[in-house]
Amino acid sequence: MILTKRLMIFTALLVLSFNTFATEPDWNAYAEVLKSVSPGTKNNVKLALVDYQALKENGKLEMAYQQISNFPVKSLGNKEEKLAFYINAYNILALKTVVDHWPLDSIKDVGSLFSPVWGMPAGSIDGKTVSLDDVENKILRPLGEPRIHFAIVCASVSCPDLRNTPYTASELNAQLDEQVQKFLGNADKGLKIGDKSIQISKIFDWFGKDFKPAGGVEAFIRRYRADLPPLPLKESINYDWDVNGITAKK
């Protein structure tokens, strides 16, 4: 009897310890998904291309999706854990949206003028149905980290590139810095120096207010590109919404 009670107490403490210290997933399944991402070129733009046909056939994305679908988000502790989890979750849901409707030319084809894809159910997180818009605008942006805009990938050519490894809380700061540097170093979609102005992605126009805590868009950009000449910045690089993968035969 005493041994049984001690075992019950030990089990309860173990559960309590898990609930107190449990953090983000190990992301092994998502790491397998990212093996379907490789450097390439599409529409004369250098980017990380996704092999959506492979993801549709190999079932790896479904495993990654099930992990976020069932993960208890209350176990996420600090801001870094939340950011890493929801960045990965957004990217998994964006990939899932494309794979579920593959083949297609653009993720925007999933929706319509009156019902854009961003507001449509994309899947579930912790058992709750969410859209891509929910994850980006209701969860991630309120966390006050402007660098998320170079980490979440809306499955399009002009989006930032998918990393070949998942985001993790312990490495998040360095990973986000790398994403910003890579995006601003890509003249095809991030930043291009002209004779009279510096062209930048329309991302900076759409989400301009998110960069105010960092001193504004220009201060943010010049922090990462100290080599830039003293020219005005213009949000004028064309945004290509073609899917960031090999165009499939329909």
Other residues' Cβ atoms within 10 Å of the Cβ of residue 86: 23
In whole angstroms, what is the distance from residue 121 CA to residue 134 CA? 9
In whole angstroms, what is the distance from residue 241 CA to residue 43 CA? 11
Supply the DSSP symbol for 82. H
In whole angstroms, what is the distance from residue 229 CA to residue 124 CA? 46
Q: Where are the domains of the chain?
A: 23-235
| Distance set, CA 75 to CA 9, 30, 81, 136 (Å) | 21, 19, 10, 20
CB-CB contact of 124 with 132 (8 Å): no
In whole angstroms, what is the distance from residue 90 CA to residue 10 CA? 37
| Structure confidence by residue, pLDDT tens digits, 67-105 | 999 999 999 999 999 999 999 999 999 999 999 999 999
Global pTM reads: 0.90
In whole angstroms, what is the distance from residue 188 CA to residue 186 CA? 5
Residue 11, pLDDT > 70, answer no
Confidence at 23, pLDDT banded by 50, 70, 90? confident
**Mean pLDDT for the chain overall:** 92
Residue with tokens 């930043």: 191
